[in-house]
Structure 1
Amino acid sequence: MLTGTQLAAADGDDTAATGDALRKAETRGLRGVSQARLEGLLSEPNLATDVSFSRSWVDAQPKAKGGAHWKCLSEALYFEARGETVKGQFAVAEVIMNRVRSARFPDNVCGVINQGTGKRYQCQFTYTCDGNPETIHEPRAFERVSKVARAVLDGRAPDLTKGATHYHTTAVRPQWARVYTKTAAIGVHVFYRHTFRTASN
Protein backbone atom coordinates (compact mmCIF):
# COMPACT_ATOMS: atom_id res chain seq x y z
CA MET A 1 0.00 0.00 0.00
CA LEU A 2 1.28 3.48 -0.83
CA THR A 3 2.23 5.63 2.10
CA GLY A 4 0.17 8.72 2.83
CA THR A 5 2.86 11.02 1.45
CA GLN A 6 3.10 9.07 -1.79
CA LEU A 7 -0.66 9.00 -2.29
CA ALA A 8 -0.85 12.71 -1.61
CA ALA A 9 1.71 13.15 -4.37
CA ALA A 10 -0.47 11.14 -6.76
CA ASP A 11 -3.36 13.42 -5.78
CA GLY A 12 -1.32 16.47 -6.75
CA ASP A 13 -0.60 17.64 -3.20
CA ASP A 14 3.10 16.83 -2.77
CA THR A 15 5.53 16.93 -5.68
CA ALA A 16 8.54 16.32 -3.45
CA ALA A 17 7.58 12.70 -2.83
CA THR A 18 7.20 12.14 -6.57
CA GLY A 19 10.66 13.58 -7.18
CA ASP A 20 12.14 11.30 -4.52
CA ALA A 21 10.47 8.29 -6.13
CA LEU A 22 11.86 9.19 -9.54
CA ARG A 23 15.38 9.66 -8.17
CA LYS A 24 15.20 6.27 -6.48
CA ALA A 25 13.91 4.74 -9.70
CA GLU A 26 16.78 6.13 -11.72
CA THR A 27 19.30 4.57 -9.36
CA ARG A 28 17.54 1.25 -9.81
CA GLY A 29 17.32 1.46 -13.59
CA LEU A 30 13.55 1.96 -13.79
CA ARG A 31 13.48 4.89 -16.23
CA GLY A 32 10.38 4.96 -18.41
CA VAL A 33 8.02 3.71 -15.69
CA SER A 34 5.17 6.10 -14.85
CA GLN A 35 5.34 8.13 -11.65
CA ALA A 36 2.29 6.56 -10.02
CA ARG A 37 3.53 3.06 -10.74
CA LEU A 38 7.00 3.92 -9.47
CA GLU A 39 5.53 5.07 -6.20
CA GLY A 40 3.73 1.76 -5.85
CA LEU A 41 6.86 -0.22 -6.66
CA LEU A 42 9.12 1.73 -4.33
CA SER A 43 6.86 2.19 -1.34
CA GLU A 44 6.86 0.18 1.82
CA PRO A 45 3.59 -1.01 3.38
CA ASN A 46 1.89 1.50 5.64
CA LEU A 47 1.00 -0.65 8.62
CA ALA A 48 -0.43 2.14 10.76
CA THR A 49 -4.14 2.81 10.45
CA ASP A 50 -6.62 4.69 12.56
CA VAL A 51 -9.71 3.84 10.54
CA SER A 52 -12.86 2.52 12.14
CA PHE A 53 -15.43 1.20 9.68
CA SER A 54 -18.38 3.00 11.19
CA ARG A 55 -20.51 5.95 10.17
CA SER A 56 -19.70 7.68 13.47
CA TRP A 57 -15.99 7.52 12.63
CA VAL A 58 -16.62 8.99 9.17
CA ASP A 59 -18.83 11.75 10.57
CA ALA A 60 -16.11 12.67 13.08
CA GLN A 61 -13.53 13.25 10.32
CA PRO A 62 -12.85 16.81 9.12
CA LYS A 63 -14.45 17.95 5.89
CA ALA A 64 -12.53 16.38 3.04
CA LYS A 65 -10.89 18.22 0.21
CA GLY A 66 -8.35 17.50 -2.48
CA GLY A 67 -7.44 17.64 -6.13
CA ALA A 68 -8.86 16.04 -9.24
CA HIS A 69 -8.10 12.46 -8.18
CA TRP A 70 -9.82 12.95 -4.84
CA LYS A 71 -12.87 14.29 -6.67
CA CYS A 72 -12.88 11.36 -9.12
CA LEU A 73 -12.61 8.84 -6.30
CA SER A 74 -15.32 10.57 -4.27
CA GLU A 75 -17.70 10.55 -7.22
CA ALA A 76 -16.96 6.89 -7.95
CA LEU A 77 -17.74 5.96 -4.35
CA TYR A 78 -20.92 8.03 -4.44
CA PHE A 79 -22.28 6.44 -7.61
CA GLU A 80 -20.91 2.94 -7.03
CA ALA A 81 -21.12 2.43 -3.26
CA ARG A 82 -22.94 5.15 -1.34
CA GLY A 83 -25.54 2.60 -0.18
CA GLU A 84 -22.83 0.21 1.04
CA THR A 85 -21.44 -0.09 4.56
CA VAL A 86 -18.44 2.10 5.36
CA LYS A 87 -16.23 -0.98 5.11
CA GLY A 88 -17.73 -1.74 1.71
CA GLN A 89 -16.97 1.79 0.54
CA PHE A 90 -13.36 1.45 1.64
CA ALA A 91 -13.15 -1.86 -0.21
CA VAL A 92 -14.45 -0.36 -3.47
CA ALA A 93 -11.95 2.50 -3.15
CA GLU A 94 -9.20 -0.06 -2.56
CA VAL A 95 -10.04 -1.80 -5.83
CA ILE A 96 -9.62 1.48 -7.67
CA MET A 97 -6.26 2.09 -6.01
CA ASN A 98 -5.17 -1.48 -6.80
CA ARG A 99 -5.94 -0.75 -10.44
CA VAL A 100 -3.84 2.40 -10.31
CA ARG A 101 -0.93 0.24 -9.15
CA SER A 102 -1.57 -2.42 -11.80
CA ALA A 103 0.18 -2.35 -15.16
CA ARG A 104 -3.12 -3.49 -16.71
CA PHE A 105 -4.91 -0.21 -16.04
CA PRO A 106 -4.26 3.54 -16.27
CA ASP A 107 -1.77 4.81 -13.70
CA ASN A 108 -3.94 7.44 -12.02
CA VAL A 109 -7.29 7.52 -10.23
CA CYS A 110 -9.27 9.52 -12.78
CA GLY A 111 -7.83 7.45 -15.63
CA VAL A 112 -8.91 4.21 -13.96
CA ILE A 113 -12.42 5.46 -13.23
CA ASN A 114 -13.01 6.93 -16.69
CA GLN A 115 -11.42 4.09 -18.65
CA GLY A 116 -13.47 3.06 -21.66
CA THR A 117 -16.11 5.80 -21.52
CA GLY A 118 -16.21 6.31 -25.30
CA LYS A 119 -19.27 4.13 -25.91
CA ARG A 120 -22.43 3.62 -23.91
CA TYR A 121 -22.17 0.77 -21.38
CA GLN A 122 -18.66 -0.11 -22.55
CA CYS A 123 -16.73 1.21 -19.59
CA GLN A 124 -15.24 0.02 -16.32
CA PHE A 125 -17.73 1.86 -14.08
CA THR A 126 -21.24 2.00 -15.52
CA TYR A 127 -22.19 5.39 -14.12
CA THR A 128 -19.50 7.01 -16.32
CA CYS A 129 -21.03 5.81 -19.60
CA ASP A 130 -24.74 5.18 -19.00
CA GLY A 131 -25.80 8.44 -20.61
CA ASN A 132 -27.21 9.87 -17.39
CA PRO A 133 -25.86 13.09 -15.88
CA GLU A 134 -23.61 12.55 -12.88
CA THR A 135 -25.62 14.68 -10.49
CA ILE A 136 -25.14 14.54 -6.72
CA HIS A 137 -28.67 14.33 -5.29
CA GLU A 138 -27.60 13.30 -1.78
CA PRO A 139 -25.03 15.83 -0.54
CA ARG A 140 -24.77 14.21 2.91
CA ALA A 141 -23.89 10.87 1.34
CA PHE A 142 -21.35 12.57 -0.91
CA GLU A 143 -19.75 14.29 2.07
CA ARG A 144 -19.29 10.92 3.77
CA VAL A 145 -17.83 9.09 0.79
CA SER A 146 -15.52 12.03 0.13
CA LYS A 147 -14.04 11.46 3.60
CA VAL A 148 -13.55 7.79 2.77
CA ALA A 149 -11.81 8.80 -0.45
CA ARG A 150 -9.52 11.17 1.45
CA ALA A 151 -8.59 8.49 3.99
CA VAL A 152 -7.78 6.00 1.23
CA LEU A 153 -5.67 8.49 -0.73
CA ASP A 154 -3.84 9.33 2.49
CA GLY A 155 -2.97 5.66 3.04
CA ARG A 156 -4.90 5.39 6.30
CA ALA A 157 -6.92 2.25 5.52
CA PRO A 158 -5.83 -1.37 5.99
CA ASP A 159 -5.91 -3.95 3.20
CA LEU A 160 -9.41 -5.38 2.89
CA THR A 161 -9.51 -7.12 -0.50
CA LYS A 162 -6.12 -8.85 -0.83
CA GLY A 163 -5.17 -7.12 -4.06
CA ALA A 164 -8.58 -7.20 -5.74
CA THR A 165 -8.89 -5.35 -9.03
CA HIS A 166 -12.50 -6.29 -9.79
CA TYR A 167 -15.81 -6.57 -7.98
CA HIS A 168 -19.47 -7.15 -8.68
CA THR A 169 -22.66 -7.03 -6.65
CA THR A 170 -24.18 -10.20 -5.31
CA ALA A 171 -27.12 -9.62 -7.67
CA VAL A 172 -25.06 -10.58 -10.74
CA ARG A 173 -22.53 -13.21 -11.77
CA PRO A 174 -20.37 -11.86 -14.61
CA GLN A 175 -18.55 -14.27 -16.85
CA TRP A 176 -15.10 -13.05 -15.79
CA ALA A 177 -15.82 -14.08 -12.19
CA ARG A 178 -15.45 -17.72 -13.24
CA VAL A 179 -11.77 -17.35 -14.00
CA TYR A 180 -10.61 -14.67 -11.54
CA THR A 181 -9.60 -15.44 -7.96
CA LYS A 182 -12.19 -14.49 -5.34
CA THR A 183 -10.51 -12.59 -2.50
CA ALA A 184 -13.30 -11.18 -0.31
CA ALA A 185 -17.03 -10.63 0.13
CA ILE A 186 -17.95 -7.38 1.86
CA GLY A 187 -21.50 -6.11 2.05
CA VAL A 188 -23.22 -6.54 -1.31
CA HIS A 189 -19.96 -6.80 -3.27
CA VAL A 190 -17.72 -9.75 -4.09
CA PHE A 191 -14.07 -8.97 -4.83
CA TYR A 192 -11.60 -10.64 -7.20
CA ARG A 193 -8.10 -10.30 -8.55
CA HIS A 194 -6.61 -11.64 -11.75
CA THR A 195 -5.45 -15.22 -11.55
CA PHE A 196 -2.03 -13.64 -11.10
CA ARG A 197 -1.09 -13.14 -7.45
CA THR A 198 -0.59 -9.38 -7.17
CA ALA A 199 -2.27 -6.24 -8.47
CA SER A 200 1.04 -5.14 -9.96
CA ASN A 201 0.78 -7.79 -12.70
Structure 2
Amino acid sequence: MNVRLSWLGAAAMALALTGVAVAETSMSRSNNPTENLGALMGAERLALGAMPEAMLTHARPKEAATQVSYDRNWIAKQPTATGGDQFACLAKALYFEARGESIKGQFAVAEVILNRVDSRKYPNSVCGVVNQGAHRRNSCQFSYACDGRADRINEKAAYARVAKVARVMIDGAPRNLTKGATHFHTTSVRPNWARRFPNTAKIGTHLFYRQPS
Protein backbone atom coordinates (compact mmCIF):
# COMPACT_ATOMS: atom_id res chain seq x y z
CA MET A 1 0.00 0.00 0.00
CA ASN A 2 1.19 3.51 -0.76
CA VAL A 3 2.75 4.98 2.40
CA ARG A 4 0.88 8.26 2.01
CA LEU A 5 -2.45 6.44 1.81
CA SER A 6 -1.65 4.34 4.86
CA TRP A 7 -0.80 7.49 6.83
CA LEU A 8 -4.04 9.09 5.73
CA GLY A 9 -5.90 5.99 6.91
CA ALA A 10 -4.21 6.26 10.29
CA ALA A 11 -5.05 9.94 10.40
CA ALA A 12 -8.70 9.22 9.69
CA MET A 13 -8.77 6.68 12.50
CA ALA A 14 -7.24 9.22 14.88
CA LEU A 15 -9.82 11.80 13.92
CA ALA A 16 -12.60 9.34 14.68
CA LEU A 17 -11.07 8.50 18.04
CA THR A 18 -10.20 12.01 19.17
CA GLY A 19 -13.12 13.91 17.71
CA VAL A 20 -10.81 16.45 16.07
CA ALA A 21 -12.77 18.54 13.59
CA VAL A 22 -11.25 19.20 10.17
CA ALA A 23 -12.60 20.96 7.11
CA GLU A 24 -14.35 18.88 4.47
CA THR A 25 -11.97 18.12 1.59
CA SER A 26 -14.18 16.34 -0.94
CA MET A 27 -13.82 17.03 -4.67
CA SER A 28 -17.19 18.78 -4.60
CA ARG A 29 -15.50 21.79 -3.00
CA SER A 30 -12.92 22.33 -5.68
CA ASN A 31 -11.62 20.86 -8.90
CA ASN A 32 -8.09 21.94 -8.02
CA PRO A 33 -6.20 18.73 -7.02
CA THR A 34 -3.41 20.74 -5.39
CA GLU A 35 -5.87 22.46 -3.10
CA ASN A 36 -7.45 19.16 -2.11
CA LEU A 37 -4.08 17.49 -1.48
CA GLY A 38 -3.01 20.41 0.69
CA ALA A 39 -6.20 20.16 2.71
CA LEU A 40 -5.77 16.42 3.15
CA MET A 41 -2.17 16.83 4.25
CA GLY A 42 -3.21 19.49 6.72
CA ALA A 43 -5.86 17.19 8.13
CA GLU A 44 -3.30 14.40 8.34
CA ARG A 45 -0.82 16.52 10.29
CA LEU A 46 -3.55 17.64 12.70
CA ALA A 47 -4.71 14.08 13.28
CA LEU A 48 -1.22 12.63 13.70
CA GLY A 49 -0.46 15.30 16.26
CA ALA A 50 -3.35 13.99 18.33
CA MET A 51 -2.30 10.33 18.08
CA PRO A 52 -0.57 8.63 21.03
CA GLU A 53 2.91 7.25 20.43
CA ALA A 54 1.66 3.65 20.47
CA MET A 55 -0.63 4.40 17.51
CA LEU A 56 2.09 6.27 15.64
CA THR A 57 4.17 3.11 15.80
CA HIS A 58 1.76 1.53 13.37
CA ALA A 59 1.33 4.65 11.25
CA ARG A 60 4.99 5.32 10.48
CA PRO A 61 6.61 3.84 7.38
CA LYS A 62 8.42 0.61 8.28
CA GLU A 63 11.14 0.56 5.59
CA ALA A 64 13.93 1.94 7.81
CA ALA A 65 12.85 0.02 10.89
CA THR A 66 12.94 -3.34 9.10
CA GLN A 67 16.55 -2.89 7.99
CA VAL A 68 17.97 -3.58 11.42
CA SER A 69 21.51 -4.79 12.00
CA TYR A 70 22.29 -6.01 15.49
CA ASP A 71 25.72 -4.43 15.89
CA ARG A 72 27.24 -1.31 17.39
CA ASN A 73 28.31 0.19 14.08
CA TRP A 74 24.73 0.19 12.82
CA ILE A 75 23.40 1.62 16.07
CA ALA A 76 26.10 4.29 16.11
CA LYS A 77 24.89 5.52 12.70
CA GLN A 78 21.31 6.01 13.90
CA PRO A 79 20.21 9.54 14.84
CA THR A 80 20.08 10.62 18.45
CA ALA A 81 16.94 9.09 19.90
CA THR A 82 14.12 11.12 21.37
CA GLY A 83 10.47 10.49 22.10
CA GLY A 84 7.61 10.62 24.53
CA ASP A 85 6.86 8.79 27.76
CA GLN A 86 6.64 5.30 26.24
CA PHE A 87 9.99 5.72 24.53
CA ALA A 88 11.54 7.00 27.77
CA CYS A 89 10.18 4.04 29.75
CA LEU A 90 11.57 1.54 27.23
CA ALA A 91 14.97 3.25 27.08
CA LYS A 92 15.20 3.33 30.88
CA ALA A 93 14.28 -0.36 31.15
CA LEU A 94 16.90 -1.32 28.57
CA TYR A 95 19.51 0.73 30.38
CA PHE A 96 18.97 -0.95 33.74
CA GLU A 97 18.15 -4.44 32.47
CA ALA A 98 20.43 -4.84 29.44
CA ARG A 99 23.03 -2.10 28.99
CA GLY A 100 25.81 -4.66 29.56
CA GLU A 101 24.42 -6.97 26.89
CA SER A 102 25.28 -7.00 23.21
CA ILE A 103 23.15 -4.91 20.85
CA LYS A 104 21.35 -8.10 19.91
CA GLY A 105 20.69 -8.80 23.58
CA GLN A 106 19.29 -5.31 24.07
CA PHE A 107 16.92 -5.76 21.15
CA ALA A 108 15.84 -9.10 22.61
CA VAL A 109 14.91 -7.52 25.96
CA ALA A 110 13.00 -4.81 24.09
CA GLU A 111 11.08 -7.56 22.30
CA VAL A 112 10.00 -9.05 25.64
CA ILE A 113 8.66 -5.70 26.86
CA LEU A 114 6.75 -5.00 23.65
CA ASN A 115 5.43 -8.57 23.51
CA ARG A 116 3.97 -7.97 26.97
CA VAL A 117 2.37 -4.75 25.81
CA ASP A 118 0.63 -6.75 23.08
CA SER A 119 -0.50 -9.46 25.49
CA ARG A 120 -3.86 -9.28 27.26
CA LYS A 121 -2.15 -10.60 30.39
CA TYR A 122 -0.16 -7.41 30.93
CA PRO A 123 -0.69 -3.63 30.86
CA ASN A 124 -1.20 -2.20 27.39
CA SER A 125 1.59 0.39 27.50
CA VAL A 126 5.37 0.23 27.82
CA CYS A 127 5.34 2.28 31.03
CA GLY A 128 2.60 0.09 32.46
CA VAL A 129 4.59 -3.07 31.71
CA VAL A 130 7.95 -1.97 33.08
CA ASN A 131 6.43 -0.41 36.21
CA GLN A 132 4.03 -3.25 36.99
CA GLY A 133 4.32 -4.10 40.70
CA ALA A 134 6.88 -1.36 41.30
CA HIS A 135 4.95 -0.02 44.29
CA ARG A 136 5.97 -3.09 46.35
CA ARG A 137 9.58 -3.85 47.24
CA ASN A 138 10.93 -6.85 45.27
CA SER A 139 7.50 -7.52 43.75
CA CYS A 140 7.96 -5.92 40.35
CA GLN A 141 8.31 -7.58 36.98
CA PHE A 142 11.61 -5.84 36.22
CA SER A 143 13.97 -5.80 39.18
CA TYR A 144 15.36 -2.28 38.77
CA ALA A 145 11.87 -0.83 39.31
CA CYS A 146 11.54 -2.00 42.92
CA ASP A 147 15.00 -2.84 44.22
CA GLY A 148 15.07 0.23 46.47
CA ARG A 149 17.97 1.85 44.62
CA ALA A 150 17.85 5.26 42.99
CA ASP A 151 17.49 4.95 39.21
CA ARG A 152 20.45 7.11 38.27
CA ILE A 153 21.68 7.00 34.69
CA ASN A 154 25.42 7.51 35.09
CA GLU A 155 26.66 5.92 31.86
CA LYS A 156 25.58 8.47 29.28
CA ALA A 157 27.05 6.67 26.27
CA ALA A 158 25.35 3.43 27.26
CA TYR A 159 22.04 5.22 27.68
CA ALA A 160 22.35 6.92 24.28
CA ARG A 161 22.92 3.49 22.73
CA VAL A 162 19.95 1.74 24.36
CA ALA A 163 17.78 4.77 23.60
CA LYS A 164 18.44 4.20 19.90
CA VAL A 165 17.42 0.57 20.31
CA ALA A 166 14.23 1.70 22.04
CA ARG A 167 13.45 4.18 19.27
CA VAL A 168 13.94 1.62 16.51
CA MET A 169 11.75 -0.91 18.30
CA ILE A 170 8.95 1.57 18.99
CA ASP A 171 9.11 2.59 15.34
CA GLY A 172 8.18 -0.95 14.32
CA ALA A 173 11.35 -3.05 13.98
CA PRO A 174 10.62 -6.76 13.56
CA ARG A 175 10.65 -9.02 16.61
CA ASN A 176 12.41 -12.09 15.29
CA LEU A 177 14.95 -12.83 18.01
CA THR A 178 12.95 -14.35 20.86
CA LYS A 179 10.00 -16.08 19.14
CA GLY A 180 7.35 -14.23 21.11
CA ALA A 181 9.10 -14.33 24.50
CA THR A 182 7.41 -12.61 27.42
CA HIS A 183 9.98 -13.46 30.10
CA PHE A 184 13.74 -13.60 30.54
CA HIS A 185 16.29 -14.16 33.27
CA THR A 186 20.06 -14.26 33.53
CA THR A 187 21.88 -17.57 33.34
CA SER A 188 22.97 -17.14 36.97
CA VAL A 189 19.44 -17.73 38.34
CA ARG A 190 16.66 -20.27 37.80
CA PRO A 191 13.21 -18.90 38.76
CA ASN A 192 10.39 -21.36 39.41
CA TRP A 193 8.36 -20.26 36.41
CA ALA A 194 11.22 -21.20 34.06
CA ARG A 195 10.37 -24.89 34.57
CA ARG A 196 6.90 -24.36 33.14
CA PHE A 197 7.54 -21.89 30.32
CA PRO A 198 8.94 -22.92 26.91
CA ASN A 199 12.49 -21.67 26.41
CA THR A 200 12.64 -19.79 23.10
CA ALA A 201 16.17 -18.35 22.92
CA LYS A 202 19.48 -17.76 24.67
CA ILE A 203 21.18 -14.47 23.84
CA GLY A 204 24.20 -13.34 25.81
CA THR A 205 23.62 -13.89 29.51
CA HIS A 206 19.83 -14.02 29.16
CA LEU A 207 17.46 -16.94 28.62
CA PHE A 208 14.10 -16.11 27.03
CA TYR A 209 10.73 -17.79 27.55
CA ARG A 210 7.22 -17.58 26.19
CA GLN A 211 4.39 -17.67 28.70
CA PRO A 212 1.97 -20.56 27.97
CA SER A 213 -1.47 -19.53 26.76
Matched, 1:67 2:62: no
Secondary structure of the residue aligned to 1:136 is coil
Alpha-carbon distance in 2 for matches of 1:21, 1:155: 23
2 CA distance for matches of 1:120 and 1:111? 17
**Partners of 1:133 and 1:108 in 2: CA distance:** 23
Assess if the C-alpha contact under 8 Å between 1:49 and 1:158 holds in 2.
no
The runs of 4+ residues in structure 1 deviating greater than 2 Å are: 15-22
Identity %: 55
Aligned to 2:190: 173
Which structure exhibits the higher relative contact order, with contacts defined as CA atoms closer than 8 Å and separated by 6 or more residues?
1
| CA displacement at 1:102 relative to structure 2 | 0.3
Counterparts of 1:136 and 1:142, CA distance in 2:
7
- In the alignment, structure 1 residue 16 sits paired with structure 2 residue 11: yes
Q: Offset at 1:174?
A: 0.5
Q: How far off is 1:21 after superposition?
A: 9.7
Query: Equivalent residue for 1:101?
Result: 118
* Residues paired across the two proteins, number: 167
Deviations 1:52-80 (A, max 9, x none): 11111111100000000000000000000
User: One-letter code of the match for 1:64?
Assistant: A
Alignment-derived partner of residue 76 in structure 1: 93
Equivalent of 2:107 in 81, 90, 107: 90
- Decide whether the 8 Å contact of 1:151 with 1:157 is kept in 2: no
> Helix, strand or coil for the counterpart of 1:131?
coil
Aligned mates of 1:142, 1:186 — CA distance in 2: 20
Code of the residue aligned with 2:84 in structure 1: it is G
TM-score (norm 2): 0.71
Letter of the 2:14 counterpart: G
> Structure 2 CA distance, aligned partners of 1:188 and 1:66?
29
1:113 maps to which residue?
A: 130
Per the TM alignment, residue 17 of structure 1 is displaced from its structure 2 partner at its CA by 7.6
- Matched residues in 2 for 1:102 and 1:50: separation? 25
- Tell me how far apart the structure 2 counterparts of residues 111 and 21 of structure 1 sit (CA, whole Å): 25
Name the residue aligned to 1:134.
151
State the partner residue of 1:30: none
- Does structure 2 retain, via aligned residues, the 8 Å contact 1:90–1:157? no
Q: Normalising by the residue count of structure 1, what TM-score does the alignment of the two structures yield?
A: 0.76
Structure 1 CA distance for aligned equivalents of residues 165 and 175 of structure 2: 12
RMSD over aligned Cα atoms: 2.7
Q: Residues 141 and 156 of structure 1: is their aligned pair in 2 closer, same or farther, counting only changes over 3 Å?
A: same
Unaligned stretches of 5+ residues in structure 2: 1-5, 18-50
Is there any run of 5+ residues in structure 1 with no aligned partner, and where?
1-5, 7-14, 23-34, 197-201
